Amino acid sequence: MPLRTERLTTKGTKEHEGKPERLWFADAHLRDERLIQSLMAKEQTAVFGGGCFWCIEAVFQRLNGVTHVESGYMGGRADQATYKQVCGGDTGHVEVVRVTFDPDEISYRDLLDVFFGTHDPTTLNRQGNDTGEQYRSVIFYNSDEQREIAENTIAELTAAKAFSEPIVTAVEPADEFYVAEGYHQNYYNENSRQPYCMFSITPKLAKLEKKFAEKLKA
């Protein structure tokens, strides 16, 4: 059945009279699909690595304007990545999160501010007790605009001496994103009483709430 595209009207009005009900519902379905496509076209993605992806996933999930956060692996030498392989340190992949966001509600620069404000960008291949190349601090950019904003942000933080040690965060082009295993997704929200979460992630979220309260979801 072809979908009709004329202007939609409320059922029961004069303009709706005479139109078969099945076509009215087809119109409504088309309208909803177009709205969804419009919203999706507006959304952008950003990819960050800054230690264990359980930690940074929990951070970005709480930001207003962020619609989806997915843990995964990026930046490696091998053509595939699993948690076991990445933890072995042989593939060169980084534990990352892919953040989908609405730029009308939160900017890429805002995401960078939170990223730098909730992890240590001065430790090479390490965050706290998590050590290895997979935990390195890195921004994977999806466009020249993102690259420029990331590099400018690092330059501004360096000039302002925001950290006592030099920033070692790398800025690299986004590569193949390998989605992490299902049990890694939404990890903190489903395992907040797990010891690692209580020791490492809960304090990080408290820091987030203190520094970026205005950016958090209600």
pLDDT tens string 39-76: 556 899 999 999 999 999 999 999 999 999 999 999 99
Tell me the two tokens of residue 18: 């005479």
pLDDT of residue 37: 57
Q: Which of the two residues, 110 and 10, has the higher pLDDT score? A: 110
Q: What are phi and psi of 192, to 5 degrees?
A: -65, -20
Q: Which pTM does this prediction carry?
A: 0.81
Instruction: Between 128 and 36, name the one with better pLDDT.
Output: 128
Is the four-CA dihedral 188, 189, 191, 197 of positive or negative sign? positive
pLDDT class of 4 with cuts at 50, 70, 90: very low
Task: State yes or no: is 197 an active-site residue.
Answer: no
Q: Which residues sit opposite 32 in a β-bridge?
A: none
CB atoms within 10 A of CB 15: 12
Q: What is the pLDDT of residue 14?
A: 42
72-126 pLDDT, tens digit per residue, is 999 998 788 999 999 988 899 999 999 999 999 999 999 999 999 999 999 999 9
Kindly indicate the confidence band of residue 6, based on its pLDDT and cuts at 50, 70 and 90: very low
Can you give the residue ranges of every domain in the chain?
A: 1-42, 49-215
Q: Which of 52, 55, 87, 197 is catalytic?
A: 52
Name which of 185, 175, 170, 179 is nearest 133 in CA terms. 170
pLDDT in tens, 167-192: 999 999 999 999 999 999 999 999 99
Which CATH fold topology does 49-215 show? Peptide Methionine Sulfoxide Reductase; Chain A (3.30.1060)
d(Cα 96, Cα 140) in Å, to the nearest integer? 9
What mean pLDDT comes out for the span 159-165? 97
Between CA 126 and CA 165 the distance in angstroms is: 14
